């Protein structure tokens, strides 16, 4: 570079770069555009993410955000109240709480338990948040109505998968047995919801809205609570057994199964203490007693040979099938022999005696004579007798509105061949005719066929809801003439001098409130006492009954004791069937219980 005079000769000159050309354009280095490209793609990704968050998944994230600050609380609906036929509440809802905890034995499962106020308040004070306000199910009559009402409990995994419970939650409580289960859909109600705003610490800030619960529907049963209590008291000495009391058209007034349990143990919290008279003090003892099976409702779920109560059906079958009439008679020989086998009458076996004279159907029933009914069963024939028994409701469920009912068994030659692999013999027919052998019935079935005689020939479906109308399953099963013969035999069975049901001989109660009913047929005046000071007006009540002593098991096993009856005999109001398992003779072990029930019914 050429310099002027001002600059010194030692000045350094800058080397001027020359721009290089590549053909017609510039040759550009890659690093000149790297940063802008990175910035462009980063901006594109950011814009895409913003679009995805705000537009594509905006609703999802809004819900997540709301859930972090808004909590939905279930407001549990109270179940419907259950009343007896007179408006007495049998089960009520009391204030309480529910605690939900994770079930360690199940993945993604929760377990809920009822808490009383005394149990819940200390936990709430400690800040425990898995506790909800709920109403506790309280069973006012405890053990005496356990098998009718049942109880409630948390829904199981299996139940959750059932179509019946498709809209239930994992922590829902449902009816587990009895009326609670049968009418779950009516009793349950509809839960409400409450929206609550919470802060970052999970504390409630303010309520945001509420949907009120819709309570379950109340229902009224046919049960008479006062009579139910009386029946329960009358069976206090029964270890295992059942009693059913009904009207002649199938309304169940009382139903008892022994042993029983207090259903409040399942619903009122772990600190609930049952009455001292209850045999079971905790849930574990109820569920683990496989010998006595307290949860089993023996009225509908237990099957037994009916013994001589079945002679009602044998007599009706012979008359209705025209195998016999009122003039048909049999001589009591004490023992009936068929080849090398012998079949005895109970009177001969126990006392070594035979009945004098000839026995017709009325006397055969009143004396419960086995020889008469052996011969009658043979005359009817096993196929006809089986078919007639089925017509009268045996071998199938009665259709009562309770779960757990079983069918029982009416045998015939085909059944014996298929199941046991043996032929049917004449001896099988004999013992079938007196209610023994392979024949199995429930106490409710025995009560139902007794109703047929009481009401004049109709088999009704038993029912527990008062508003339900009577449903006739079969009609015209017994004509009036034949009914009168069977009824007379049953009346004589409860009469002194001719019958066997000695506890019911000359049955009477205090006349108070019954004076206007005296008609010298159903009700009649009775005087007792030997002097004027001891005289007390009584009203006698006519009863038609049939006892039964059903052999089962080995010779060392006591028989089942039965009695079935209706009263008053000519215009029945009540039908009673008593079963006392493995206790002895029907007249000794079942009839006294029936007597106490009759007293309670006619004096309440």
Q: What confidence category does residue 99 fall into, taking pLDDT thresholds of 50, 70 and 90? A: confident
Neighbours of 481 (CB within 10 A): 10
Residues 404-428 pLDDT 10s: 999 999 999 999 999 999 999 999 9
Q: Are both 216 and 303 inside the same structural domain?
A: no
Q: Crossing angle of helices 382-391/311-320, nearest 10°? A: 110
Burial classification of residue 128, based on how many CB atoms lie within 10 Å of its CB (0-12 exposed, 13-18 middle, 19 or more buried): exposed
Q: What confidence category does residue 138 fall into, taking pLDDT thresholds of 50, 70 and 90? A: very high
When pLDDT is averaged across residues 512-532 and rounded to a whole number, the result is 81
- Give the distance from CA 320 to its chain's centroid: 35
| Higher-scoring residue by pLDDT: 80, 108 | 80
pLDDT for the residue 110 = 66
Q: Are both 374 and 484 inside the same structural domain?
A: yes
**CATH number reported for the structural domain that contains residue 401 in this entry:** 3.40.710.10
pLDDT for the residue 172 = 85
Pairwise CA distance, residues 519 & 568, whole Å: 11
Determine, yes or no, domain membership for 420.
yes
Pairwise CA distance, residues 406 & 301, whole Å: 5
Q: Of 7-11, 48-52, 403-407, 507-511, where does mean pLDDT reach its minimum?
A: 7-11
pLDDT for the residue 11 = 43
Whose structure tokens read 């419970």? 165
pLDDT for the residue 290 = 94
Q: Are both 181 and 305 inside the same structural domain?
A: no
pLDDT for the residue 534 = 41
Q: Are both 92 and 186 inside the same structural domain?
A: yes
Residues 526-537 pLDDT 10s: 876 555 444 468
Q: Does pLDDT of 236 surpass 50?
A: yes
Residues of the domain holding 120: 72-221
pLDDT for the residue 45 = 74
pLDDT for the residue 27 = 53
**CATH number reported for the structural domain that contains residue 88 in this entry:** 3.90.1310.10
Determine, yes or no, domain membership for 304.
yes
Pairwise CA distance, residues 370 & 433, whole Å: 9
Task: Decide: helix, strand or coil at residue 162.
Answer: coil
Give the up-direction half-sphere exposure of residue 4: CA atoms within 13 A in the CB hemisphere. 1
- The length of the chain in residues reads 604
Determine, yes or no, domain membership for 120.
yes
Q: Which residues of 418-438 are buried (b: 16+ CB within 10 A; e: fewer)?
A: eeeeeebeebbbbbbbbbbbb
Residues 36-70 pLDDT 10s: 777 777 777 777 776 665 666 666 556 545 555 77
When pLDDT is averaged across residues 374-378 and rounded to a whole number, the result is 98
Q: Of 212-216, 332-336, 576-580, 585-589, where does mean pLDDT reach its minimum?
A: 212-216
**8 A C-beta contact, residue 495 and residue 502:** no
| Higher-scoring residue by pLDDT: 123, 22 | 123
**8 A C-beta contact, residue 220 and residue 587:** no
* End residue of a domain, out of 168, 194, 221: 221
Q: Are both 466 and 319 inside the same structural domain?
A: yes
Determine, yes or no, domain membership for 354.
yes
Structure tokens at 4: 């002027």
The overall average pLDDT reported for the chain is: 87
Q: Does pLDDT of 461 surpass 90?
A: yes
| Listed residue (233, 188, 242) closest to 214, CA to CA | 188
Q: Are both 158 and 304 inside the same structural domain?
A: no
Pairwise CA distance, residues 589 & 77, whole Å: 46
Q: Are both 342 and 449 inside the same structural domain?
A: yes
Q: What confidence category does residue 14 fall into, taking pLDDT thresholds of 50, 70 and 90? A: very low
When pLDDT is averaged across residues 348-364 and rounded to a whole number, the result is 95
| Listed residue (143, 151, 154) closest to 178, CA to CA | 151
Determine, yes or no, domain membership for 251.
no
Whose structure tokens read 């044998």? 314
Q: Are both 473 and 592 inside the same structural domain?
A: yes
Structure tokens at 507: 């049955």
Q: What is the DSSP letter of 462?
A: P
Widest distance between CA atoms in the chain = 174
**8 A C-beta contact, residue 590 and residue 598:** no
Q: Does pLDDT of 362 surpass 80?
A: yes
pLDDT for the residue 571 = 97
Q: Does pLDDT of 320 surpass 70?
A: yes
Q: Are both 321 and 457 inside the same structural domain?
A: yes
Helix intervals (H) in 367-412:
370-380, 382-391
Q: Does pLDDT of 394 surpass 70?
A: yes
**CB within 8 Å of 577: residues ≥ 6 apart:** 243, 244, 245, 309, 443, 444, 446, 447, 450, 562, 563, 564, 565
Structure tokens at 458: 């109709």
Q: Are both 199 and 303 inside the same structural domain?
A: no
Q: Are both 217 and 306 inside the same structural domain?
A: no
- Give the distance from CA 482 to its chain's centroid: 36
- Give the distance from CA 27 to its chain's centroid: 95
Q: Does pLDDT of 12 surpass 70?
A: no
**8 A C-beta contact, residue 271 and residue 118:** yes
pTM of the model: 0.84
Q: What confidence category does residue 105 fall into, taking pLDDT thresholds of 50, 70 and 90? A: low
Q: Of 200-204, 551-555, 583-587, where does mean pLDDT reach its minimum?
A: 200-204
Whose structure tokens read 């001002």? 6
Determine, yes or no, domain membership for 452.
yes
* End residue of a domain, out of 165, 194, 221: 221
Number of domains the chain is built from? 2
Residues 300-318 pLDDT 10s: 999 999 999 999 999 999 9
pLDDT for the residue 280 = 94
pLDDT for the residue 343 = 95
Q: What confidence category does residue 494 fall into, taking pLDDT thresholds of 50, 70 and 90? A: very high
Determine, yes or no, domain membership for 11.
no
Structure tokens at 590: 């079942």
pLDDT for the residue 135 = 77
Determine, yes or no, domain membership for 352.
yes
- State the SS3 of 227-295: HHHHHHHHCCCCCCEEEEEECCCCEEEEEEEECCCCHHHHCCCCCCCCCCCCCCCCHHHHHHCCCCCCC
Pairwise CA distance, residues 494 & 587, whole Å: 10
Q: What confidence category does residue 33 fall into, taking pLDDT thresholds of 50, 70 and 90? A: low
Pairwise CA distance, residues 563 & 308, whole Å: 9
Q: What confidence category does residue 496 fall into, taking pLDDT thresholds of 50, 70 and 90? A: very high
Secondary-structure breakdown of the chain: helix, strand, coil percentages, each rounded to the nearest 5: 35, 25, 40
pLDDT for the residue 2 = 47
* End residue of a domain, out of 174, 195, 221: 221
pLDDT for the residue 140 = 93
Residues 145-188 pLDDT 10s: 999 999 999 888 889 888 889 888 887 889 999 999 999 999 99
Across 17-31, 242-256, 346-360, which has the greatest mean pLDDT? Answer: 242-256
Task: Tell me if the bond preceding 568 is cis, omega within 30° of 0.
Answer: yes
Q: Are both 319 and 194 inside the same structural domain?
A: no
């Amino acid at each position: 570079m050429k310099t002027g005079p001002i600059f010194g000769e030692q000045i350094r000159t800058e080397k001027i770069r020359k721009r290089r050309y590549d053909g017609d354009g510039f040759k550009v280095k890659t690093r000149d555009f790297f940063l802008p490209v990175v910035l462009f793609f980063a901006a594109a990704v950011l814009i895409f993410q913003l679009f995805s968050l705000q537009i594509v998944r905006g609703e999802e994230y809004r819900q997540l955000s709301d859930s972090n600050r808004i909590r939905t609380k279930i407001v549990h609906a109270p179940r419907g109240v259950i009343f007896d036929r007179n408006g007495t509440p049998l089960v009520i809802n009391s204030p309480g709480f529910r605690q939900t905890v994770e079930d360690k034995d199940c993945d993604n499962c929760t377990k809920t338990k009822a808490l009383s106020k005394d149990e819940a308040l200390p936990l709430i004070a400690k800040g425990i948040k898995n506790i909800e306000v709920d109403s506790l199910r309280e069973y006012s009559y405890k053990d005496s109505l356990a098998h009718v009402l049942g109880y409630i409990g948390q829904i199981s995994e299996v139940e959750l998968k059932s179509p019946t419970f498709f809209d239930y939650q994992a922590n829902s409580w449902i009816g587990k047995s009895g009326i609670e289960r049968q009418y779950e859909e009516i009793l349950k109600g509809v839960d409400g919801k409450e929206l609550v705003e919470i802060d970052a610490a999970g504390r409630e800030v303010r309520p945001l809205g509420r949907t009120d619960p819709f309570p379950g529907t109340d229902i009224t049963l046919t049960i008479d609570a006062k009579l139910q209590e009386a029946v329960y008291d009358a069976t206090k000495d029964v270890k295992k057994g059942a009693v059913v009391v009904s009207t002649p058209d199938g309304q169940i007034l009382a139903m008892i199964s022994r042993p029983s349990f207090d259903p409040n143990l399942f619903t009122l919290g772990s600190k609930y203490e049952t009455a001292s008279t209850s045999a079971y003090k905790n849930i574990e003892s109820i569920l683990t007693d496989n010998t006595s099976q307290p949860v089993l409702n023996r009225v509908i779920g237990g099957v037994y040979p009916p013994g001589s109560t079945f002679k009602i059906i044998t007599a009706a079958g012979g008359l209705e099938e025209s195998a016999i009439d009122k003039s048909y008679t049999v001589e009591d020989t004490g023992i009936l022999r068929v080849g090398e086998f012998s079949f005895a009458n109970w009177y001969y076996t126990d006392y070594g005696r035979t009945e004098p004279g000839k026995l017709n159907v009325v006397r055969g029933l009143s004396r419960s004579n086995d020889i008469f009914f052996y011969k009658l069963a043979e005359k009817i024939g096993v196929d006809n007798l089986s078919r007639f028994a089925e017509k009268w409701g045996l071998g199938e469920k009665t259709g009562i509105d309770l779960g757990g009912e079983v069918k029982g068994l009416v045998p015939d030659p085909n059944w014996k061949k298929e199941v046991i692999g043996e032929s049917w013999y004449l001896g099988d027919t004999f013992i079938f005719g007196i209610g023994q052998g392979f024949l199995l019935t429930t106490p409710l079935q025995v009560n139902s066929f007794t109703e047929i005689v009481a009401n004049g020939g109709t088999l009704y479906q038993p029912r527990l809801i008062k508003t339900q109308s009577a449903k006739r399953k079969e009609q015209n099963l017994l004509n009036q003439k034949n009914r009168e013969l069977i009824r007379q035999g049953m009346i004589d069975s409860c009469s002194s001098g001719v019958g066997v049901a000695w506890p019911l001989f000359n049955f009477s109660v205090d006349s108070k409130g019954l004076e206007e009913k005296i008609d010298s047929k159903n009700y009649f005046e009775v005087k007792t006492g030997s002097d004027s000071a001891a005289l007390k007006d009584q009203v006698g009540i006519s009863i038609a009954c049939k006892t039964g002593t059903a052999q089962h098991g080995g010779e060392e096993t006591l028989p089942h004791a039965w009695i079935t009856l209706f009263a008053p005999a000519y215009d029945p109001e009540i039908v009673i069937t008593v079963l006392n398992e493995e206790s002895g003779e029907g007249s000794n072990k079942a009839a006294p219980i029936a007597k106490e029930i009759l007293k309670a019914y006619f004096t309440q």
